[in-house]
Structure 1
Amino acid sequence: MVKRQRLSCFKGICGCLLLLPLLTLISCSDNDDKHSSSLPQLSAAESSQLLTCTDLAGQFSFANTEITAVETVAAGTLTVGGHDIAEHCLVTGKMNERASWVNTAVEDASYAISFEMRLPVDWNGRFFYQGNGGLDGSVKTAVGAVSGGGYLTNALDMGFAVISSDAGHSGNSPFFGLDPQARLDYGYNAVASLTPMAKALITAAYGRGPDRSYIGGTSNGGRHTMVAATREPEEYDGYMVGAPGFHLPKAAIAQLFGAQQYAKVIEKEGVTPALSGNSSNLNLAFTQEERQLVADAILEKCDALDGATDGMVEDVEGCHNSFNLLTAVPTCTSDRDGTCLSEDQKSAISAIYSGARNSQGEALYNDWPYDPGLISSGWAAWEFDNSVTNRDPVSVAFVFMSPPEDPSVNDDTLGYALDFNMDTDAPKIFETSGIYTESAWSFMTPVNETNLSVLRDRGAKMIVYHGTCDPVFSVNDTTDWYDAVTEANDGDATDFVRFFRVPGMSHSRNGIATDQFDALSALVDWVEKGVKPDRIIATARGDVNNPGGQNTEIPDSWDPNRTRPLCPYPKIAVFTGTDATSDQIEDAANFTCQ
């Protein structure tokens, strides 16, 4: 397979370590400790019984930590995949409580890293840190997703002790970004603070610490995990990274760039961009009917590249070489009617897929692959709504900019997104100012992101998965990162990190995809048994009876329970059955990773 060559530059920074700012730029050759052909094999975890639960309230003590409640949770209180989670102990608490560093009319709260930890009575000897998504701000139920959509099990159900946190701030307000310490907690310090405390709590509950420790999450949770891989490489044995926003500040800027392109289309047609609640009218620039037109054109050029015409594009690189929006989709000669795209639409869509750029043509973020999953509702929500409402604009304004913007921006997120200056505003993610002594690029991203030598040499492993139709974090960005990690390890990193692309999957889950899979079990088997994940079987969720929940966007032409192998990049799933026109295309057994 021929790999597509890409190079991203921002503030004049290009080269082997993709998308790193100058102050942290380290040559690929700095990864001096080359991987050996025989890495350590870690032993398997051993099970234990919970020694105490409610007594932990009075017995456990850790620096700057307050346990606020301890209770026994009966079996069946929580369910996953249609079956009950066993009895466990629930511990809630907070760390590093303090007053806010700033005191304004909108930000005068106290802060703490709040958490909950669930400790199974029948423990498998493992610890799982659950990285949560978005801007955090709430303590999600500590169950530990195994990846993808429609979970049939989770880490807690499998017997892990699991911790979840709010990453150092409470509530949905983005104004925590005005507090410099809250920024750092969100970026990396919550994981650094909670990890030793959680292991100590496990020791108090079971009489010993965890044999093996894992961390995982999707989206911002994937970012947390990748950051931990470079900042906490000795703390975890397995890292499960989903749809990683590891370059989140740049990706958020790219969302604003996309909104600006859509706005140009409708403004030229006499429509003023507007919001109604949490939705915008930017979808008028690229309607559902027109997205279906483009999806059909992508499938015409790319569907059969993997040997099966099945509504999925496995060969991302091949599709890049085969599909050209300008020539594959008709250009309107009169009014738009759903059978063509106007020249303005093609210009806007091409610019978005080529990646955000400033007026000098310098890349601000990576490009995206064309994928037929763009017809999904999740894709549309990120492109037309989250890009101009209470997601990306407020993240950029209050968390990633230095100094943060005036709080009044929150009253006009659409205006902020459309007026954001790609020349003068975008570079502020690399800047520091006053009490904001660490830039967003520093606290949000992995440190020297291609050097995973400490993790590698311990025998730890990493599995990364990413949907090819993710509209907010480009799978091409993750692909470039993996290529750079490979280069930094003598051209082969497969003995400790593997990357799986999920065709058609939108952000973290859903889309026109087989998105139900278990990466955590594959990771455990790799870490503790040395079983390399040569493929992970994924299932569609078109069946209303799917215990993990139905994905209503699965096409009627698919078997609702279609399976596919997810293949470690650069391999793709290729049809090797005997009849590509039969039901053989619904079964992963008829596909091999090549």
Structure 2
Amino acid sequence: MPFTISPGGEAGRAGGLRALAVLLLALAPLRAAAQDAAPAPGVADLPVVRPAGSCADLLKTDLTDIGGEGSAVQRAEEVTNDAGIAACSVQGTLAPSITFAVVLPTETWTQRYLQLGCGGLCGRLSVDQVGAASGCQVLQAGGFAVAATDMGHQGSDATWGNDPQKRADFAHRANHLTALAAKALIAAFYGQGPQFSYFTGCSDGGREALIEAQRYPDDFDGIIAGAPAANFQVQNSVYHAWQAVANKDAEGRAILLADRLPILHRAVLAQCDGLDGVEDGLIANPLACDFDPGTLQCEAGASDTSACLTPAEVEVVRKLHDGPSDPATGKRLTIGGPQWGSELRWTVFVPEAATDTTQSEDHAVEAITGVSLPENPPEGLTLADVAFDEARIEQLAALHPLYDATNPDLSGFQGSGGKLILYHGWSDTDISPLNTIAYYEAVRAQMGDAAAEGFARLYLFPGMYHCSQGEGPYEVDLLTPMMAWVEGGQAPDGIVARQPQGGEGNEFGQFGPGKGGPPGADDAATAPLPGYPAAEAPSTDLARSRPVYPYPALPAFSGHGDPNDAADWTKGDATVAFTAPDWAGAGFFTPYQPMERQ
């Protein structure tokens, strides 16, 4: 915008100065926005690249070489999200039935690509939210091209498990081909490919993230894997199955109910909350908490059980926390169960009413009847038909190389220069954090401690539930530290997590009692094309903040100041120590040859 001060004496000069002042005021928000958009330390200051062609031209992109005959771009439209970020939104198919979406900013792309994982059994396109990226400036400014896939099937049930091709698509193929297709579309749209490529996902999205690192080490420069369902076979078909049946009486009714969980939680905190030197309702290291639920058992013949647990309830608590073992050999069948301090989120497998079903029951039935076994069992199977023994693990081993993401040999990913951030909430009851610690320890054992620490980090968040929410700080940005590591060589150390006011959870946990689950699948042919994903702004009204350091280090309170302020905490000793037990599936966490297709 050209600007000159017109001649004409004092009046002209005064008018020109007034106009200049108005212009400067108008430009002030733009200057502030530019300052806000300046990259964080270590993050490359990449110039914006604008499209070299039209959005509609992408309909002509040939994807046959990537997905096979029948692969094509079906829709391409210009869209604008609520934040005003304009983009070309693309949707297509990779044969035979993988639906994918790519959102390509038209005015803000800074040569980066971000692919999003999909939780549960997927069956939907999830391009609307990016987890673990609260306050990421590059994301907020529209700097990424973003893509996602439904992983080869539509709908959240497991009927697709009757098709071996769909099993392969879900296991590994869909995300890899989506990465190839998205990069081809990026190159076609902007006239160049991305400088840096990232993947982030949580839950099954975390499994997908690790599958990429293990099977396709050249797809991404940086991978963030949250609460990964890496131990997929055991996770659904043994862990969740056990969590469902361990709380049943002979008539199939739940013994321990959700309204009893606060009694247990208060007792755990009374014993272990202060182990880190601060009583704040959080257990920084649950592995150091040696809690005996028997201390809560009511006296024999007690008529008032409002502050204690019955013998049957105590027995259920032990079973839920410890997990199943083979009744003949005593061999453990899982790495471990939910950790002490997570009791308010046991509502994943503890119902509100004795006849209610739970999320764990749904997960287990879905997996066992649809995807986990080479041949699906006959209709009518219930969890009462499931045996908890070593033979069960042997059955699940058949498809372990297809679905699981527990291969600790990441030499290909390390060799390509890739960086990996793992994270998990200590109060996650959907997937025990012990699985992720066991995987990270397996990587260290396989690669060597020094080599592993050169490209991988693990963060454990006290009080965090599954992927987010909870009683502890859970609002976090891992995407910016990942960019600084990949682009600037700055390895991450302390990460500040924030907890908004009102975000602590209630007595039954943040999500309330009972079961939940993913929304239904979008109809890919008619649903509105996605806009640029919403970028979560960090909360300004905080209950507390806390640094979290790479495993095995713990934060330490300075002893002065405010324990609710991250600034008054420092990096403490590396005191977290976990060795995976000798369990029946220990071999799953050793190097193996991936299975391409059943």
Task: Give the TM-score normalised by the residue count of structure 1.
Answer: 0.76
- Whether 1:145 aligns to 2:130 is yes
Residues 516 and 456 of structure 1, relative CA distance in 2, 3 Å threshold: same
Offset, 1:135: 0.5
Which residue of the other structure, out of 274, 279, 287, is the alignment partner of 1:304? 274
Q: Secondary structure at the match of 1:473?
A: coil
Distance in 1, matches of 2:301 and 2:380, equals 42
2:206 matched to 1:213?
no
Report the RMSD for the aligned CA atoms in angstroms: 2.6
Give the CA deviation at 1:507. Answer: 1.2
Contact 1:136–1:166 under 8 Å retained in 2: yes
Q: How does 1:492-511 map to 2 (within 5 A)?
A: 492=450, 493-511=452-470
SS of the residue 2:94 aligns to: strand
> What does residue 247 of structure 2 align with?
262
For 1:205-284, what aligned pairs fall within 5 Å after superposition?
Answer: 205-252=189-236, 253-264=238-249, 267=250, 272-273=251-252, 282=254
Corresponding letter in the other structure for 1:573: P
Match of 1:461 in 2: 419
1:155 Cα deviation (Å)? 4.2
Correspondence for 2:569: 591
Q: Does 487-496 or 506-515 show the bigger shift?
A: 487-496
Residue pair 2:213, 2:410 contacting (<8 A) in 1 also: yes
Q: Corresponding residue for 1:136?
A: 122
Q: 2:342 aligned to 360, 373, 376, which one? A: 373
Q: Secondary structure at the match of 1:568?
A: coil
Distance in 2, matches of 1:473 and 1:591, equals 28
CA contact (8 A) 1:576 1:592 kept: yes
Note the alpha carbon deviations across 1:417-472, whole angstroms, 9 max, x for none.
233112354532223xxxxxxx2x1111126x211122223321111110111112
Q: Which amino acid aligns with 1:491?
A: D
Equivalent residues of 2:148, 2:178 under 8 A apart? no
Write the distance in 2 (CA, Å) between the matches of 1:407 and 1:380.
28
Give 3-state SS (helix, strand or coil) of 1:262's partner: coil
For 1:566, the equivalent position in structure 2 comes to 548
CA, structure 1 residues 355+85, in 2 after alignment: closer, same or farther (shift >3 Å)? farther
Correspondence list, 1:91-106, <5 A: 91-97=90-96
Matched-pair contact (CA < 8 Å) for 1:511–1:554: no
Is this contact kept in 2: 1:540–1:561, CA < 8 A?
A: yes
Question: 1:157 Cα shift?
Answer: 5.1
Using the alignment, how far apart are the partners of 1:44 and 1:350 within structure 2? 53
In the TM superposition, 1:75-474 aligns within 5 A as: 75-76=81-82, 84=83, 86-97=85-96, 112-121=97-106, 122-140=108-126, 142-143=127-128, 145-147=130-132, 155=139, 158-252=142-236, 253-264=238-249, 267=250, 272-273=251-252, 282=254, 285-319=255-289, 322-327=290-295, 329-334=296-301, 337-360=305-328, 361-368=330-337, 370-376=339-345, 379-384=346-351, 385-387=357-359, 389-409=361-381, 416-423=382-389, 424-431=391-398, 439=399, 441-446=400-405, 449-474=407-432
Q: Is the 8 A contact 1:332 1:343 kept in 2?
A: no
Residue in 2 that maps onto 1:105: none
Per-residue deviation at 1:223? 0.4
Structure 1 residues 155 and 174 mapped into 2: Cα distance closer, same or farther (>3 Å)? farther
* Paired residue type of 2:57: L
Count of residue correspondences: 484
Q: Which has the larger radius of gyration?
A: 2
| Preserved contact between residue 214 and residue 410 of structure 2 (Cα < 8 Å) | yes
Counterpart mapping for 1:467-546 below 5 A: 467-492=425-450, 493-543=452-502
Partner of 1:30: none
Which residue does the alignment assign to 1:69?
75
Question: Which residue in the other structure is 2:587 paired with?
Answer: none
Query: What CA distance in whole angstroms lies between the structure 2 residues aligned with 1:212 and 1:382?
Result: 41
The residue type equivalent to 2:123 in the other structure is: G
Q: Structure 2: which amino acid aligns with 1:471?
A: T
Give, in angstroms, the shift of residue 325 of structure 1.
Answer: 2.5
CA-to-aligned-CA distance 1:138-164 (integer Å, 9 cap, x gap)? 112x2451428x788784754111111
Q: 1:166 to 1:287 in 2, by over 3 A?
A: same
* Cα distance in 1 between the residues matched to 2:188 and 2:104: 11
1:52 deviates by 3.1
What is the distance in 2 between the residues matched to 1:154 and 1:312? 32
1:52 corresponds to which residue?
53
CA distance in 1, matches of 2:265, 2:507: 14
Matched to 2:122, the amino acid is: D
2: CA distance between counterparts of 1:404 and 1:312? 42
Give 2:223's aligned amino acid.
Y
For residue 435 of structure 2, what is the amino acid of its counterpart?
D
Residues 372, 504 of structure 1: 8 Å contact kept: yes
Do the aligned partners of residues 535 and 152 (structure 1) sit closer, same or farther apart at CA in structure 2, a change above 3 Å counting? same
Larger CA deviation: 351-360 vs 499-508: 351-360
SS at match of 1:123: coil
Aligned partners of 2:297 and 2:311 also within 8 Å: no
- 1:332-370 deviation per Cα after TM superposition (whole angstroms, max 9, x unaligned): 423572322233322222122222223232222111353
Unaligned runs of 5+ in 1: 1-40, 77-83, 98-111, 275-281, 410-415, 432-438, 544-549
Contact 2:242 2:324 in 1 (8 A): yes
Contact 2:58 2:185 in 1 (8 A): no
Q: Deviations over 1:246-278 (max 9, x none)?
A: 0022011211112111003xx4xxxx336xxxx
- Does the aligned pair in 2 maintain the 1:45–1:528 contact within 8 Å? no
Aligned residue type for 1:533? P
The CA deviation at 1:533 is: 1.3
Distance in 2 (CA, whole Å) between partners of 1:85 and 1:500 is: 34
Query: Aligned equivalents of 1:525 and 1:146: distance in 2?
Result: 18
| TM-score where L is the length of structure 2 | 0.76
Q: Secondary structure at the match of 1:400?
A: coil
Q: Is the 8 A contact 1:259 1:418 kept in 2?
A: no
How far apart, in 2, do the equivalents of 1:407 and 1:51 lie? 54
SS of 1:380's partner is: helix
Q: 1:551 to 1:292 in 2, by over 3 A?
A: closer
Q: Which residue of 2 aligns with 1:25?
A: none
1:171: Cα distance to partner? 1.4
Cα distance in 2 between the residues matched to 1:542 and 1:575: 21
| Correspondence for 1:553 among 506, 514, 517 | 506
State the SS of the aligned residue for 2:124: coil
Q: Indicate the SS of the match to 2:420.
A: strand
Is 1:143–1:154's contact at 8 Å kept on the other side of the alignment? Answer: no
Q: Letter of the 1:259 partner, please give it.
A: A
Aligned partners of 2:288 and 2:570: how far apart in 1?
17
> Residue 130 of structure 2 aligns to a residue in which SS?
coil
